[in-house]
Structure 1
């Protein structure tokens, strides 16, 4: 099978741009989705985070744009400000790599609406990346023309449904030209979402990507709970105890990268930094110096490091988890390349365990470790002990009373009955909490809409 990244359907500038950002081999979702979207077919894609789905729609979207038409030609939505910002940054990186003269705008709730309106009045972007609520607002007020839109992509469609934004998507989709290509990307396809998508897609191409082993088996992937310790001190211990050939440390913001670089340099380490705040000239010089072994440590943000081609990375450290968990896969994939062994370590605190559970569902396995005597040694996470005791202690008063009563009577099968009561109680609480969160989100959205009207 030919490599879709070098397919002649893609513009030479796009093919060249993919080479620049080190995209040589497409993932399964990219291999299957890109040709379908290039053919202008409506598509529903079920794929987990970390499968490479973002580029599977960004590549054909940018490829099909008319640089000479200064009108919105592609609308991409994500359900939260953070996810839309991540999508915007990835789109800009791909655009810059291709050298295409394309304008990309980001409109999200919670940010300066007046400033966005001023930008929109002065210039109509060719690609719009937005949250559903803000997009609804601008379309309703006829500030954003849709008559030239070629592509409409709903990213994280199941989350869009859960957060109550399908009505906003419905409002926008109704105003798209009939020729618009619709695409929805989702980790799951609930019945309600499937019914909604059928309204706008007649016999769409259905693509389901199985959850692959997303981390190379040559990589040892560890997890450290820093607990009450200072995260910077744990990082320093980790970087200095094994003397890695080259360590790549990831942080989420330019400010954190700057702070970590200063801290590690003050500790006497040879550290380089790479983030969006440095010039392209400085970035290229830093890369040359890293490749010439002038630095043993590099601290970087995700997007700045996305296209880096650095050999010999023996250690990757996630100083903090990214907002978009998909980036964990890209980070860890910087080590253990070409069949070489690699090592990745993620630093967390207890309140981040939900995110780790999400990564494990994606097929990423972690080993719990701790630092003892300048070595990483296995440990049993204290969460497992707490989980065992939760069957009795983490229940409300009513259930505790039932547990005590049944235990005292010592009836046959009392342990099974206790377990059933607890499970029913927890299920009811989960339902109530989910209902509360959805109603809260809908009230907030209505309040924002009323205040902007």
Structure 2
């Protein structure tokens, strides 16, 4: 099969831009979605985080925009301001690499609404990336027209449904031209979402991508809770206690990469760095030196991870959990290649456990470890502590005391009395929990509406 990144239907600028940011081989979702969108087919795509779905729609959308037409030609929606901002940054990166003169605007709650309205009066964007609430708000205010929109993308459609934003999306889509290309991307396709999408897409192409995020069996994937310890000291210990053949350390920003390189060099290690701030010439020279064995340690940023193809990486250290979980898969996949054994260690603190749980849901397995006597040794998984706490919460102190007291007295019928007391207590707790959940749901709906505006 021909590489879709070099498809003749893609503008030469985009082909060059993809090559520049090291998109050499498309993922399965990109192989299927990009040709469909280039053929102007409506699609419903079921794909998980880490599948590369963002570029599967960004590439065709940017390809479709007429740089000389100053009106909104494409809209991408995301259910939260964080996701919308993430998409905005990725779109800007691809635009810059491709040297395209396309105006992109980010609309989301939490940003200055009046300032955005003022900007829209003077200059209409060609691509809008927005949260549903803010998008509907601006469309209703006629800040820009949607009657010439060629492409409408709903990202994280199931989350959009869960957060109660489908009604906002519905009102905007009702104003779109009949020939607008529509694509929805979702990890799951609930019945309610499927029914909604059928309203606007009679016979869409349904593309289902199997979860690609399971780590290769040749990789030992460890999780190291550093607690209150100094992260840099732990990193140095990891890099030196086993003497890896070639260690690759990942950080989230080029500033953090520079900081780590300086620290490790101060400790006497010879370290190479690769991030978006170095020139292509420097990058190639560094990679050549690494391949020649001149460096045992490399510190890199996430953008470098995509095109990084170095043989012999025996250890990957995730100095911090990436903002985009997709990058974690790219990072860990740098080791354990070609059937060789590999080792990945992710440094985390308790507040980051939620991100780890998200990765575990996607099929990424971690072994929980700690450092003892300059060795990584197994320890109980962090969930075991949660299980213990859950057990301890089953009976409150009042009931525990009641049980103990009744056991001591040993009066006839005491077991029935205890059972009734526990049942009544549980009934009362359920009532309170239900009330709490109803109130919590109301507050969340209100907060989401506010965030989306």
TM-score range relative to shorter protein: 0.7 to 0.9
Gaps of 5+ in 2: none
The answer as to whether partners of 1:104 and 1:126 remain within 8 angstroms in 2 is yes
Q: Secondary structure at the match of 2:200?
A: coil
Match of 1:285 in 2: 282
Q: CA RMSD in A?
A: 3.6
Greater shift in the superposed pair: 70-79 or 23-32: 23-32
Structure 1 residues 120, 210: closer, same or farther in 2, change over 3 A?
same
- Look up the match of 1:173: 173
1:101 aligns to what? Answer: 101
Kept after mapping to 1: 8 A contact 2:110/2:451: no
| Alpha-carbon separation, structure 2, partners of 1:434 and 1:39 | 46
Q: Classify the secondary structure of the residue corresponding to 2:32.
A: helix
Whether contact under 8 Å (1:93, 1:303) holds in the other structure is no
Could you say if the C-alpha distance between residues 340 and 124 of structure 1 is closer, same or farther in structure 2, counting changes exceeding 3 Å?
A: farther
Q: In the aligned structure 2, how far is the partner of 1:424 from the partner of 1:342?
A: 52
Q: CA deviation at 1:76?
A: 0.9
- C-alpha spacing 1:245/1:167, structure 2 compared with 1 (3 Å): same
1:154 aligns with 2:154: yes
Residues 1:439 and 2:442 aligned together: yes
Q: Alpha carbons of 1:400 and 1:104: their partners in 2 closer, same or farther (altered >3 Å)?
A: farther
**SS of 1:292 mapped into structure 2:** helix
Q: CA deviation at 1:86?
A: 1.9
Q: Tell me the secondary structure at the aligned position of residue 160 of structure 1.
A: helix
Matches within 5 A, 1:286-301: 286-293=283-290, 295-301=295-301
Find the aligned partners of 1:166 and 1:100 in 2 and give their Cα distance.
Answer: 32
Cα distance between partner residues in 1 of 2:364 and 2:14: 31
Task: Tell me if the contact between 2:369 and 2:376 (Cα under 8 Å) persists in the aligned partners.
Answer: yes
Offset at residue 224 of structure 1 (A): 0.8
CA distance in 2, matches of 1:211, 1:405: 54
- Which whole-Å CA distance do the structure 2 matches of 1:223 and 1:118 have between them? 48
1:198 maps to 198
Distance in 2 (CA, whole Å) between partners of 1:333 and 1:424 is 50
Corresponding residue number in structure 1 for 2:61: 61
Q: Tell me how many residue pairs correspond in the alignment.
A: 443
Please give the per-residue CA displacement for 1:258-301, whole angstroms capped at 9, x wherever unaligned: 4434433333333444555x3x53x6424523431355434343
1:291·1:310 contact (CA, 8 Å) conserved in 2? no
Q: Distance in 2 between matches of 1:327 and 1:89?
A: 15
Deviation at 1:406, TM superposition (A): 11
Q: Is the 8 A contact 2:109 2:450 kept in 1?
A: no
State the alpha-carbon separation in 2 of the partners of residues 424 and 336 from structure 1. Answer: 53
The question of whether the paired residues in 2 share the 8 Å contact of 1:248 and 1:299 is answered with: yes
The question of whether the paired residues in 1 share the 8 Å contact of 2:81 and 2:451 is answered with: no
Structure 1 residues 82 and 447, CA gap change in structure 2 (3 angstroms): closer
Closer, same or farther: CA 385–107 of 1 in aligned 2, 3 Å: closer
* Structure 1 match to 2:92: 92
CA distance in 2, matches of 1:296, 1:72: 50
Asked whether the equivalents of residues 74 and 126 of structure 2 are also in contact (C-alpha less than 8 Å), the reply is: yes
Alpha-carbon distance in 2 for matches of 1:67, 1:213: 36
Cα distance in 2, alignment partners of residues 403 and 97 from structure 1: 69
Q: Which moved more, 1:254-263 or 1:136-145?
A: 254-263
SS of residue matched to 2:71: coil
Shift of 1:395: 5.5
Maintained 8 Å contact 1:247/1:297? yes
Partner of 2:142: 142
Tell me, in whole angstroms, the C-alpha distance in 2 between the residues paired with 1:250 and 1:426: 46
Change in CA separation of 1:227 and 1:394 when aligned onto 2, cut-off 3 Å: farther
Range that drifts further, 322-331 or 293-302: 293-302
Q: Which residue in 2 is equivalent to 1:185? A: 185
Tell me the distance in 1 between the aligned counterparts of 2:113 and 2:288. 44
Compute the displacement of 1:447 (Å).
5.2
Shift of 1:183: 1.1
CA distance in 2, matches of 1:250, 1:434: 40
Residue 198 of structure 1: how far off its partner (Å):
2.3
What does residue 8 of structure 1 align with?
A: 8
Deviation, 1:87, is 1.6
Task: Indicate if the aligned counterparts of 2:51 and 2:213 stay in contact, CA closer than 8 A.
Answer: no
Q: Is the 8 A contact 1:30 1:55 kept in 2?
A: yes
Find the counterpart in structure 2 of residue 375 from structure 1: 375
Q: CA–CA distance in 2 between the matches of 1:27 and 1:395?
A: 50
Deviations 1:157-213 (A, max 9, x none): 111222222232223222222211111111112232222222222222222223245
Tell me the TM-score normalized by structure 1.
Answer: 0.84
Question: CA distance change for structure 1 residues 369 and 447 in 2, over 3 Å: closer, same or farther?
Answer: closer
Distance (Å, rounded) in 2 between the aligned partners of 1:260 and 1:163: 39
Partner of 1:317: 317
